[in-house]
Amino acid sequence: MNRKRLIAALVASLWGSPTPAQSVWNDFQIHGFGAQAVLKTSDNRWFGDSDQTSFDFTELGVNASLRVLPELLVAGQVLARRAGGMSEGTPAIDYALADISLLDSPQHGVHVRLGRIKNPLGLYNETRDVPFTHPGIFLPQVVYFDRVRNLVLSSDGAALFGETTTDFGTFSGTLVYGQSLVDENVEWSYLNGNFPGDIAPDGNSWIGSAWFTSSSQRLKLGLSGAALALRFRPDRDVAWTLDSGTTDILYWIASAQYRAEDWSLTAEYAREPLQWRSYGPAFPDRKAVGEGYYVQATYRVRPPLQLMLTYQEGFADRQDREGNALSAATGGLAPAFSGFSKIWSLGLRWDIDEHWMVRAEYQHNEGTFILSPRENPDPDALAKYWNLFGLQVVFRF
């Protein structure tokens, strides 16, 4: 499958169909959003020069959908995202898909989706780029890694989605088969550097999810995961680089959320078995099991004001929770605290009206596991304890 041709064809289909023009355009919708944040950290870099105050976290998105036929919906979104040294803000296709309804009734639904598809990972991955859909400025980083965001965000391929509604609740599931999106941040995160050569998907990936939502819509439980592999292709024209190696990734998330009228409680647990093979003597074969979890509570003080409290922990290897083995394996180059993160977050959200929102967030961090080595290439400059303050303004139409 040539994914560029497929995506171009799907986007082009937004502007033409055999259906009469009047009925088509009655079902056309377009929306958008913009978000700008200012960030300040006591130490370390988070989305730009945050230790000096950073304005380098900006998101601009436009999405559209069109029901071409009763059984066919096409939709897409273009996103420009600037995120410090991890993203320069170049507009890109966030998703572009055709949704074909095979069965659609009040109790049952079966759909096939083709194109660039948002991966159904966890509670927030499919909507992570729409700021109004999550409580804080940042999603919990020990589960939703912004440093490898594109790798888990979308896949180019096909998905099968089904759901059934009973008196007890709604059961749904999705299975996606396609190719992951890989950028330079993935190499920095999984190989801890930028080596001469390219990293790319090694074959296609599988992503799946299963969800239960109670009939009251208050309780939601889910299990989701992805299996994929990466291959490094070395540049043969340089004196030295890594060998042609592979990284195998199995990433899964268990999710639970309870929502009452004025408060909600959310918890997710993620585990990521990893295996590095055949990179050569400079990068020995090894295995690790990454782990992360968080608990988040929100409370609506008044209709427009919401408080958020989050605690999260993440580990590069669950068998090395203090990072000592990691530090020893690098000859002390990597500090032990780079193997874990423990974070308290307090946030305030103010929904001014249906179009405008302002958020403030404070974090106290122990450890630097969540940080991008691309933005923080010097391990000696890292601080174990650091604070983050962020303020974000969001608009949507």
Q: Are 75 and 63 in contact (CB under 8 A)?
A: yes
138 backbone φψ class: left, alpha, beta (φ>0; ψ -120 to 50): beta
**Domain 3-15+54-396 top-level CATH class:** mainly beta
pLDDT of residue 21: 45
Closest CA to 294 of 186, 134, 182, 86: 134
Q: What is the value of pTM for the model shown? A: 0.91
Q: From CA 239, how far away is CA 222, in angstroms rounded?
A: 49
Q: Are 387 and 41 in contact (CB under 8 A)?
A: yes
Q: Are 200 and 159 in contact (CB under 8 A)?
A: no
Tens digit of each residue's pLDDT (9 = 90 or more) over 203-254: 999 999 999 999 999 999 999 999 999 999 999 899 899 999 999 999 999 9
Q: How far is CA 365 from the centre of its chain?
A: 20
pLDDT of residue 13: 39
Which residue shows structure tokens 């998703």?
A: 95
- In which residue ranges of the chain is pLDDT below 50? 1-22
pLDDT of residue 10: 43
pLDDT of residue 94: 94
